[in-house]
């Protein structure tokens, strides 16, 4: 992590539309992760109980005698304002940690092609910053979440823009709900390109279709922004393992990119 280590431990919380991912970093590495469902109906008390029980059930709390109240710093990234308020209340009520919300206005050294980048999601910023710091080259970053996002950051740390498309699961669920004769299926690698039954046909359309879309975007970005080459194409997000075998333009799978980005952003802020 480029010698940007902080007093330990550090809690990173990434609040997304479908999931809330939490990670504890020690010595610059993630040593514990937990994934919660993004329920806006949950109170801060309920989230605190859930998170505490998850931490207590691991060997981390036994080995390091670590509890949530022992954490001095928290990096928070969120794209759900309602949950941001709930989690900030959790932190202020139960913890003594200093909380830093990471977003496009954080002083990270990233430059933008727009005057006001406030509309750019925290997850996009975390991915861009992590790619810039970890790979030190122009990076095309694909994040497979509720939405599929594709972004480009130059080796100089300039955010060149982004693409937002329906996510793999989001598109599939919409297909299942809108087509009367189609049914929900498990998303697995398609066995053939041209399906010989409904399940195979849907798997091909969903998985291959998403992969072909991503490969085309990668190719077009490399063409239109060729002045920024060479490029590193990075895939992250929960569906990475499913999609990565079908992408011809992919260089790296980095499932921890987003959480590393929030951690590294906190390091940058506190070292200034």
The answer for residues whose C-beta is within 8 angstroms of residue 81's C-beta and 6 or more apart is none
The secondary structure of residue 150, as a DSSP letter, is E
Does 123 participate in catalysis according to the annotation? yes
| pLDDT band at residue 5 under the 50/70/90 scheme | low
What is the Cα–Cα distance from 29 to 85, expressed in whole angstroms? 27
Residue 63: the pLDDT is 58
265 exposure class (CB count in 10 Å sphere: 0-12, 13-18, 19+): buried
**Closest Cα to residue 253, out of 125, 155, 131, 166?**
131
Q: Which long-range contacts (CB under 8 A, 24 or more apart) does 59-64 make?
A: 60/24, 60/31, 60/32, 64/9, 64/26
Tell me: the pLDDT tens digits for 164-201? Answer: 999 999 999 888 888 877 788 899 999 999 999 999 99
**pLDDT tens profile 217-234:** 999 999 999 999 999 999
Any long-range contacts for 212-220 (C-beta under 8 Å, 24+ apart)?
A: 213/165, 214/142, 214/148, 214/150, 214/243, 214/247, 214/249, 215/247, 215/248, 215/249, 217/150, 217/163, 218/140, 218/142, 218/150, 218/247, 218/249, 218/250, 219/249
Task: For the chain, list the domains and their CATH numbers.
Answer: 10-101 (3.30.420.40), 137-256 (3.30.420.40)
Catalytic residue among 70, 115, 123, 254: 123
Two tokens, residue 166? 């329906």
77 falls in which pLDDT band (50, 70, 90)?
very high
Q: In a 3-state reduction of DSSP, which class is residue 219?
A: helix
What count of residues does the chain have? Answer: 272
Q: How confident is the model at residue 92 (pLDDT cuts 50, 70, 90)?
A: very high
Give the pLDDT confidence score for residue 2 in this predicted structure.
Answer: 46
pLDDT in tens, 34-46: 999 999 999 999 9
Note the pLDDT tens digit of each residue in 198-222. 999 999 999 999 999 999 999 999 9
Q: What are the residues facing 29 on neighbouring strands?
A: 26
Beta bridge partners of 242: none
Share of the chain above pLDDT 70, in %: 95
Left if phi > 0, otherwise alpha if psi is -120 to 50, otherwise beta: which for 2? left
């Amino acid at each position: 992590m480029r010698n940007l280590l902080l007093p330990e431990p550090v809690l990173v919380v990434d609040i997304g539309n479908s999931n809330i991912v939490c990670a504890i970093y020690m010595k610059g590495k993630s040593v514990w992760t937990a994934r919660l469902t993004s329920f806006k109906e949950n109170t801060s008390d309920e989230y605190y109980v859930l998170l505490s029980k998850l931490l207590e059930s691991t060997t981390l709390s036994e080995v390091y005698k670590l509890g949530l109240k022992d954490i001095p710093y928290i990096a928070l990234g969120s794209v759900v304002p309602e949950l941001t308020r709930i989690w900030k209340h959790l932190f202020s009520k139960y913890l003594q940690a200093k909380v830093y919300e990471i977003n496009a206005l954080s002083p990270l050294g990233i430059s933008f092609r727009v005057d006001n980048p406030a509309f750019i999601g925290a997850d996009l910023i975390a991915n861009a910053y992590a790619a810039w710091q970890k790979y030190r080259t122009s990076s095309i970053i694909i994040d497979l979440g509720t939405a599929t996002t594709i972004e480009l950051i130059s080796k100089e740390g300039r955010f060149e823009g982004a693409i937002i498309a329906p996510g793999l699961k989001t598109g599939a669920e919409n297909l299942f709900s809108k087509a009367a004769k189609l049914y929900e299926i498990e998303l697995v690698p398609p066995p053939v390109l041209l399906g010989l039954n409904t399940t195979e046909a849907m798997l091909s359309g969903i998985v291959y279709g998403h992969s072909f879309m991503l490969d085309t975007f990668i190719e077009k970005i490399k063409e239109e922004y060729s002045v920024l080459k060479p490029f590193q194409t990075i895939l992250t997000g929960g569906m990475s393992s499913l999609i990565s075998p079908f992408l011809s333009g992919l260089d790296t799978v980095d499932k921890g990119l987003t959480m590393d980005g929030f951690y590294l952003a906190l390091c940058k802020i506190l070292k200034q």
